[in-house]
Every structure is written in structure tokens, then in C-alpha cells.
Amino acid sequence: MSAEAPQAYDDLLEAYRRVSNVESAVGVLSWDQQVTMPDGGAPARSRQLSTLSGLKHELLTDDGIADALETLDRSELNDEQRAVVREIRREHERAAAVPQALIEQISAKSSEALEVWESAKADADFSQFAPVLEELVELRREYAAAIDPDRDPYAVLFEDYEPYLGLETAEQVLERLRDELVPLIEAVGDSDVTQPDPFADGTYSEQAQEDLSREILTRIGYDWDRGRLDTSSHPFTSGNQFDCRVTTRFLEDDPLSALTATVHEFGHAFYNLGLPQEEYGTPLGSSRNLSVHESQSRLWENHVGRSRPFWESVADDVREAFEGVEDIDGETFYRAANRVYDDNLIRVDADELTYHMHIVVRFEIERDLINGDLDVEDVPEVWNDKYEQYLGLRPENDAEGALQDIHWSHGNFGYFPTYTLGSVMAAQLYAAAEDDLGDLDGSIRAGEFEDLQTWLRENVHHHGARYTTDDLVEVATGESYTADYFLEYVTEKYGDLYEL
Amino acid sequence: MSAEAPQAYDDLLEAYRRVSNVESAVGVLSWDQQVTMPDGGAPARSRQLSTLSGLKHELLTDDGIADALETLDRSELNDEQRAVVREIRREHERAAAVPQALIEQISAKSSEALEVWESAKADADFSQFAPVLEELVELRREYAAAIDPDRDPYAVLFEDYEPYLGLETAEQVLERLRDELVPLIEAVGDSDVTQPDPFADGTYSEQAQEDLSREILTRIGYDWDRGRLDTSSHPFTSGNQFDCRVTTRFLEDDPLSALTATVHEFGHAFYNLGLPQEEYGTPLGSSRNLSVHESQSRLWENHVGRSRPFWESVADDVREAFEGVEDIDGETFYRAANRVYDDNLIRVDADELTYHMHIVVRFEIERDLINGDLDVEDVPEVWNDKYEQYLGLRPENDAEGALQDIHWSHGNFGYFPTYTLGSVMAAQLYAAAEDDLGDLDGSIRAGEFEDLQTWLRENVHHHGARYTTDDLVEVATGESYTADYFLEYVTEKYGDLYEL
């Protein structure tokens, strides 16, 4: 290391910690807005958030960071330092490349779009939303061009959410899932087997559902000294290695929904709570991108929370929690939690199998929109055609079609694929954990999660953002990122459930 | 106004709004820390708060603000603009005068002092606390000298909390209260009358107390769309004109305590919620200083919440809320809420009358400490002597003596007098409202608070920080600030209660 490197490195870290602390403050204000803030607080909150976002941008693009990065360019660094510099440089360069005025335009247009989207969805009328969506697509194309005018703009946007796997990998995985899941879903639809629904006729109090959620969170290892459970209209996770909170929401007629959501959010929180505390505020103490985050939530939601041994282990609690299911056994709960919905048009209600077809539709449409291969006005028809092609279903209106998700109205294009990339990664990580730990099914059936927790902490959480996504998968599993494990998992599981 | 003034004025407001938004964000993070944050979150939270405080200081001392103020110095401004510039200049100059290093020293020393104080208090041993208190006194003297080396340092510190009434006024008021309340308290002690305690033998569930607090908050006009009620170890209020929240805490054996605290905090919140929304983030949309804030909390706590008509109006609710008080009438509740404790050594448990003697003790001691007329090591004995002199009581140890309050360990000297100045102001404002509105007693007895609310909004809240404290009192009441009304109020009230 050159003589000046240590000082520049320390300067960089100190400057970055301030960026990170402002970002954490934004997280607290957003959590509060969604969980505790009275409705009337919105005007003040949006101004507070706007000031903090502006300050974060100023701190991140500050000359001090630019100078330190330039000095460190000419310095010899160890692996850890190189990783830190790589991450901060990436964030700094992206922020510096985009004019502040464009950021503000996107932000303002998104606020407008959100309102238009809500009203268009209420009227099930995509044509109301089309003009503002077109403007957002154009602004995001400008944004991508500001970062790199020579590359495919959708690839550039995608990297805001998953910077390292590359769009080509995403495309290959999504194509492969489309090719292999469509026939599997058809076979499930053709099967004579139907799964039971022991909760079909009852209503289930919020209090009973909440008590059960808390019990199960405790069981799977949520650290209440560093977390809390609240309700919000959409479940989410917010926080860091000192304080990471989950939310859920309770449906009176479907207690499985809240349980699944809670375990999903636990996976996100358990990741953040496993980041090294001594590295708080630096890339080594920060989570990797959205794909890896989603791998953690999906691993707990699906590989643990929708597994046969899990339902055998919690069956007693479920029977005690709710009236009318006193005679239901673990196997029946397990099957109920894994029904495949061949008549569902809504992504957030989808099962583990059809879910990815919802993603494929969105991915193909937003990629073509951003790259100029699809006109906004044609979105509803293309959307409906693709649903027919991949899921054998045709939406009857735009509310259950192209208007169902909030993402585009937020100006987010390139986010959707990370849901599937994460699910695929979850299967690969779980297979590696099973390989290392032996009889995971047995432990889960016995209600013992410590081995799995330790494995995830040591092989994933502990690294923070030290490795790129692809390297992290390789370090944790010994193999390159692959969809093999996911496809093997769903083929075996649903083959068994539906006697294929 | 000169040609360049409008631009400089707009620039100043825009810059100040950012300061104000960061300050609001600090408020949200602090509220969260005291109400919802899991214990484990403390290390991350303190770093977030430290970054935001540093940013606020940087924004407030920024060249942009300095330049705009300089331009506006040479500009013709209207009254409103002059008020805005006066307030921002004051904040800017104070922040710019004190070296950042000294601010950080005080902040670090206070963190240390807080821990030492907690342990010294647990051991009832002032000598453990003395060294760090001495350092804080010295640092605050430096702080005062940085702002103005030629003035009485305690007067400078006092102005951080009450910038306009002046220390001389505070001294006169406190001396007058000491002179007139000491004999009154003695007379009460000598009286044969004792007030009833209908809650003496029961325990009162938290849920019943909370329900009653909510009912009464609704009754006196709390806007739940812009507020919430939570619990915290010390009751407090946090927020602005869009979102202002109160907390309370429930004592199982004393339901009057939570009720009184809740109504007190309501007074603070009702003030903030009455600030003009269109002026959010500017001095015209900010509350005046601590004395005025305390006048609003004390007005509701004492002049409304400890009044005979108030207890007559809520007696039904209280009887319904708690078991064992079904036969108690409003007069008895009123008397119970106004007992004078002649054996109480603890400020926060004090009644409306003896409270100010607790303040006088602290004021005289901290003034002499800061001005160098008293050594830290002599504080406990002086404290105990003064308690004996003013309240006829002598603390048996330092925990119930000089270690009871947290303020000095926070490095706050000059804060205490605002409690009394606010109470005095409350009486003057209430008398003026009564003068304008006629039979306030009758309205309160009928559970009608609208006239009083409107009067406070129009005469106090609506002005924000447009007027200096003394001018505000004059605008609202038509008279200069005076303790006459307070002394008249307590003399009449306690003369009646104790048949003096």
C-alpha cells in the first residue's frame, strides 16, 4: 500500500459512513411513515425525505469521496479494501453520472404517476396511466444514457438492483424457467390431485394470527431485542444489524397468507441482523443487492416455511391457535400451503411455481419498453397475450392485468427479475447447506434451526458486500450461479404433491 | 425592499427549510428511540443522530446563509420578513460562534456524564458525579464565552432556552415567587384541611388508564389524524403542525399521574398543531421558545386539567373507568388533583405550588455554578440547605437531593427557569382568555373547549416565532409579562382549598 493510501482509505470510509447514516435515517422515516405515522403527517414527511435524499446525493458525490477514490486508484490495497473501494466507487460513479435535475424530475414524475396509477387501477383503465408511464420510460432511458450511453439501457437499469449477475444471466434464467415451468404448470393443472384447504370456511382473528406469527418468529430465531413485528398495508422489512424490523398484514379468511409473509420478511431481517456489527455503515457491513436479499427471504419462506417438516413441527401451534382445525394434521397443512393456483392472475397471491411466470411477463414487457421495442399503448394486449401463453389465463380487465403492480408507477424498471433470481439462488444455497449439514429436514422437524442459521451467517451474511453476487454464490456453494437446483427442487416437490 | 432582497430572502428561506427538515428528522429518530426502537438499536441510532446533528450544524453555518443574511442586512424588509431574518440570524450566529470541536466535546462529555450520573444516583453518591459535572460546567463556560465573552455566562446559556425575556426578568420572577410562595406553602402546611385521596387503596389497570387518557384527549380536542398517544419512560411531545405526538406513562397505583401528564403533553402538542401549515419549516411556522411552550402545557395541565369545572365535567368518565370510585363526586376528584405535598422532595412529583420552589433551588445553584460563585463539591450541602429553607424539608441522601434530575448530566444549564416562566405565562394568558371570552368555567364544565382553543390558536399559536417572547405576551394579553396573575391564581385557589 502506498504511503497515502491508509489516510485516503480512512477518509473514504468516514465520508461513506455519513452517507450510510443518512440512508439509515431515511429508512427509519419511511418505516415510521408506513407503520406509525398519523395520516396527516404526509406533507411534512415528504419534505423531510426529500431533504435527506438530496443530502445523501450531495454527500455521495462530494469531492472528498472523488479525491479519495482517485488516490486509492493508484494504491495497493488488500482484498478487503479493494472490495470496499469497488462498492463505494460504483455508488459514487452512478450518483455522479446522473444530473441532479434528472433525479428530481424522475422523483416528481413518480409522485404524479403514483396518483394516476391508483385512479387508473380503480377504473381498470390503462389508457389513463399510459401517458405518464410513457414519460417515466423516457426519463429512465435518459437516466440509463447518463450512466452509459453505449449500452443497452435496460441492462443499465437492471444493475441498479442487481449489479453483478448481468442481464444476460437474468435472461437465460428467466427463459429457462419459462421453458421448463410452463409444461410443469400444465401438468399440475391436468393432475387429478387437488390439495386440501382446511381454512376455507373459517374466519381467523387478527390477535390469534399475530400471536402465532410471534410464536413462529421466536421459534425460527428472530432476535426481539433487535427487532419488532408490526402491521402495514404491504409487508416489508427495514433496518440494519442493530435494529431490523418486519411487518406483516392479516387477512381474516386466510391465516396462511400472514404466516407466509411473516416468514418471508424474517428471511430479509435475519440477513441484515447477521451483518457484522463492527462494519456498520461500510460496504462490509451492508447487505449485497436485491437478488441476494430475496434469496434469503425466499429460502425461509419456501425451503423452510413451505416444507413438510416445518408444518409437521408447527402443526400443534396452528391447531391451538385457530378454531375449526383441531383435527388437521401436519401433512394437510403442508399441502394447503403448497396449492398451485391455476386460476390466479395476481402476482402477490401466486404460489411458488406460477410466481415466476408472472415475473417473466413483466420482465419481457419492461425490457422491450425501455429498449424501444414495445409502445406503451400496446402493453395491455401484450400483457394479456403473455398470460394466456404462459399461464393459460387471460385477464378480463387492466386492474387484474397490466395495472396490478406499483413498481412502474415508482419509475422502477429492472426490479422484477431480482424476485426470480433470488428464488433460484435460494434453492442453490439451500442445497449447499443441506450438503454441508446433512439431515436438515430432521432438524426442522425437531424445531431446530441453529445449524441452518449458523450456515447462512457464516456463508452469506457475514460477508456483507465483500463479494460480488456471482463470487458470493461461488464462495457459499462452491459452484457458479445456476438454476439447476431450483428446477430440481420444484420438479421433485410438485411431482410428489401432484403425483406427476 | 432593495432589488436583491427578494432573491436573498428566498435563498435564506430555502436554506433554512433544509436545516428545519433535518431537525425534524432528528425529532422522528428520537421519538422512535424512546417509543418504538428495540433496545439493541442504540449503537446505530446514536451514529445516525450524530451524523444528522453534524449536518444540521453545517447547513446552519453555511456560507449561503451567511451571504443571504449579509445582503438582507442592507435591505428594506417588512415586519414579517424582519422577524424571519431575526430568528434565522440568531440561530446562525450562535451556531457559527461555537467551534465544532467544542460542540463535539460537550456532546461526548454529556454521554459520559449520563452514565456516571445514573450510577452515582443509584449509589446516592454525588462525589462520583462531581468530577464530570465540573468538566461540563467548564465546557459550558467556554461555550458561553465563545458566544459572548463580555457577558454573564449563565445569562448567555439561559438564552439558548429563552432568548428574549432576559435573565433579569427570570431572576425577578423567581425571587418574587420565592418570597410569596414560601409563606403560602407554610400556611397550607399549617392548615387543618387535608385533601382526599380516593385512589389511595386501589390498583388501576394500564388499559383502563389508557382508555380514559384517549377519551379525555379526544374531549379536549386532540386531532388524532395528526397525532398519537404512546408510552415512554418519561412523557414527552414530538412533532410539528402536520404530525405531533404525545407520550405518557401509567402508574398502577396513581391514575391521576398519567392523566395529568397526558393533559400537559396535549398542551405542547396542541401548540405545535396550531402553527400555520403553510409556514412549515420557517420561523413563522415554528414554535416560540421553551417558556412559551411550557405556558401552553401548563395552561392545559393546571388551568384546565386541575380546575374544578374540568373535574366536574369528566367525573362520569372517571367513575366509569375505574373500580372503587363509583361514589366519588367531581369536587372530591378536583381536591385530590390539587393536594399540596408538604413532604415531597422530588420535582417531577410536585404539586402546582411547591413545584416552583424546586425550580428556585436549581436555578440559584446552576447560576452560581456557571458564574463561578459555587464549587461543584459544595452543591449537595447548598442543595439541602435550600430545601430546608424554602420547603422545610431536608433530603436524606443525594439521590433524592442534588442527583435527582437528568438536566445537568445532559450539559443543560439555564433550562430549569423556563418551567416556572412558562407557568407564570400560562396564568397571564388564561386570565386574558377569560377576560375576552367570559365564562370559561361554564364552557369547561359543559365540556366545551372550542372558544379557548380558538383563542389560543389566534393569539399564540398562529404567530409562530414572529414575535419575541415579551412582544408575544403583550400582543396576546395587552400587558407586559408579569407574575401578578399567577400569584393571584394560586393565592385564590389554594386559599379556597385550604381555607386560608
The DSSP bridge partners found for residue A229 are A246
| Residues 199-228 (A) with a CB less than 8 A from some CB of B | 223-228
Helices (H), B191-302: 206-220, 255-273, 290-298
C-alpha cell at A192: 387429478
Cβ neighbours around B114 below 10 Å, total: 15
C-alpha cell at A374: 414495445
CA end-to-end span of chain A: 60
- Asked whether B231 and B249 are in contact (CB, 8 A), the reply is yes
Cell 405526538 belongs to residue: B245
- Return the closest-CA partner of residue A89 out of A102, A107, A77: A77
**Burial of B46: CB neighbours in 10 Å, binned 0-12, 13-18, 19+:** middle
Distance CA A34, CA A56 (A): 21
Query: Do the Cβ atoms of B38 and A277 come within 8 Å?
Result: no
Half-sphere exposure (Cβ direction) of A480: Cα atoms closer than 13 Å: 4
**Over the stretch A377-421, which tens digit does the pLDDT of each residue have?**
999 999 999 999 999 999 999 999 999 999 999 999 999 999 999
Smallest CA–CA distance, residue B86 to chain A, in Å, is: 24
**Over the stretch B425-477, which tens digit does the pLDDT of each residue have?**
999 999 999 999 999 999 999 999 999 999 999 999 999 999 999 999 999 99
- SS3 category, B245: strand
For B79, residues 6+ apart whose C-beta sits below 8 A from its C-beta are none
Where on the phi/psi map is residue A478: left (φ > 0), alpha (ψ -120 to 50), or beta?
A: left
Cβ neighbours around A186 below 10 Å, total: 13
Cβ neighbours around B11 below 10 Å, total: 16
Q: Does B390 touch chain A (CB under 8 A)?
A: no
For A470, residues 6+ apart whose C-beta sits below 8 A from its C-beta are A164, A165, A480, A481
With CA atoms as reference, the chain A residue closest to B33 would be: A28
Distance CA A313, CA A374 (A): 49
**Chain centre distance of CA B248:** 15
Dihedral angle sign, alpha carbons of residues B485, B489, B492, B498:
negative
- SS3 category, B63: helix
**Burial of A302: CB neighbours in 10 Å, binned 0-12, 13-18, 19+:** buried
Q: What is the mean pLDDT of residues A299-326?
A: 97
C-alpha cell at B37: 426502537
Query: What's the pLDDT band for A111 if we cut at 50, 70, 90?
Result: confident
What is the pLDDT at residue B2?
A: 55
CB nearest to A240's CB, from B44, B54, B241: B44
The DSSP bridge partners found for residue A238 are A245
pLDDT at A150 over 70: yes
Query: Do the Cβ atoms of A21 and B242 come within 8 Å?
Result: no
Longest Cα pair distance anywhere in chain B, in angstroms?
A: 73
- SS3 category, B477: helix
pLDDT at A174 over 80: yes
**Phi, psi torsion values for A248, nearest 5 degrees:** -145, -175
Query: Do the Cβ atoms of A47 and B243 come within 8 Å?
Result: no
Please list every residue in chain A whose beta carbon sits closer than 8 Å to the beta carbon of residue B223: 40
Please give the ipTM for the structure prediction. 0.95
**Over the stretch B265-319, which tens digit does the pLDDT of each residue have?**
999 999 999 999 999 999 999 999 999 999 999 999 999 999 999 999 999 999 9
- Return the closest-CA partner of residue B410 out of B112, B177, B57: B112
A221-226: Cβ within 8 A, 24+ apart: A221/A270, A221/A449, A221/A450, A221/A453, A222/A246, A222/A266, A222/A269, A222/A270, A223/A273, A223/B40, A224/B38, A225/B38, A225/B39, A225/B40, A226/A273, A226/B38, A226/B40, A226/B41
What is the pLDDT at residue A6?
A: 85
Cβ neighbours around B67 below 10 Å, total: 14
The DSSP bridge partners found for residue B267 are none
**Over the stretch A349-385, which tens digit does the pLDDT of each residue have?**
999 999 999 999 999 999 999 999 999 999 999 999 9
- Asked whether A270 and A456 are in contact (CB, 8 A), the reply is yes
Cβ neighbours around A396 below 10 Å, total: 11
Q: Does B302 touch chain A (CB under 8 A)?
A: no
- SS3 category, B458: helix
- Return the closest-CA partner of residue A429 out of A483, A467, A468: A483
Distance CA A435, CA A422 (A): 20
Q: Which residues of chain B have pLDDT under 50?
A: none
Q: Does A2 touch chain B (CB under 8 A)?
A: no
Bind-site residues of B for Zn(2+): 264, 268, 294
What is the edge-to-edge ordering of all strands in the sheet holding A229-231? Answer: A229-231, A244-248, A237-239
Distance CA A276, CA A80 (A): 14
Cβ neighbours around B149 below 10 Å, total: 9
For A428, residues 6+ apart whose C-beta sits below 8 A from its C-beta are A473, A477, A479, A481, A482, A484, A485, A486
Cell 438582507 belongs to residue: B72
Distance CA A452, CA A488 (A): 21
For residue B243, the surrounding DSSP H or E stretch is strand B243-248
- Return the closest-CA partner of residue B109 out of B79, B153, B139, B152: B139
pLDDT at A2 over 70: no
The DSSP bridge partners found for residue B239 are B244
Distance CA A442, CA A75 (A): 51
Distance CA B378, CA B26 (A): 37
- Asked whether A209 and A256 are in contact (CB, 8 A), the reply is no
Decide if B265 is catalytic.
yes
Helix A379-391, helix A355-370: angle, nearest 10: 150
Please list every residue in chain B whose beta carbon sits closer than 8 Å to the beta carbon of residue A29: 25, 28-29
With CA atoms as reference, the chain A residue closest to B44 would be: A242
Dihedral angle sign, alpha carbons of residues B37, B41, B42, B44:
negative
- Asked whether A357 and A185 are in contact (CB, 8 A), the reply is yes
Q: How many residues are recorded in chain A?
A: 500
Smallest CA–CA distance, residue B38 to chain A, in Å, is: 5
The DSSP bridge partners found for residue B237 are B246
Output DSSP code: residue A481.
-
Q: What is the mean pLDDT of residues A243-247?
A: 98
Which of B47, B59, B104, B214 is best to mutate for the A interface (most A CBs within 10 A)?
B47
pLDDT at A1 over 70: no
What is the pLDDT at residue B3?
A: 57
For residue A33, the surrounding DSSP H or E stretch is helix A5-35
Task: State the Cα angle at A302 between A301 and A304, rounded to 5°.
Answer: 80
Which of A31, A37, A48 is best to mutate for the B interface (most B CBs within 10 A)?
A48
Please list every residue in chain B whose beta carbon sits closer than 8 Å to the beta carbon of residue A48: 21, 24-25, 28
Cell 420552589 belongs to residue: B357
Query: What's the pLDDT band for A442 if we cut at 50, 70, 90?
Result: very high
For A59, residues 6+ apart whose C-beta sits below 8 A from its C-beta are A15, A18, A19, A22, A65
- Asked whether A163 and A469 are in contact (CB, 8 A), the reply is yes
Please list every residue in chain A whose beta carbon sits closer than 8 Å to the beta carbon of residue B53: none
What is the pLDDT at residue B491?
A: 98
Question: How are beta strands A244-248 and A229-231 bridged, if at all?
Answer: parallel
Distance CA A412, CA A287 (A): 20
pLDDT at A4 over 70: no
DSSP codes of every residue in B328-387:
--HHHHHHHTT---TT---GGG--TTTHHHHHHHHHHHHHHHHTTSS-GGGHHHHHHHHH
- Return the closest-CA partner of residue B417 out of B234, B150, B126, B166: B166
Distance CA A488, CA A176 (A): 13
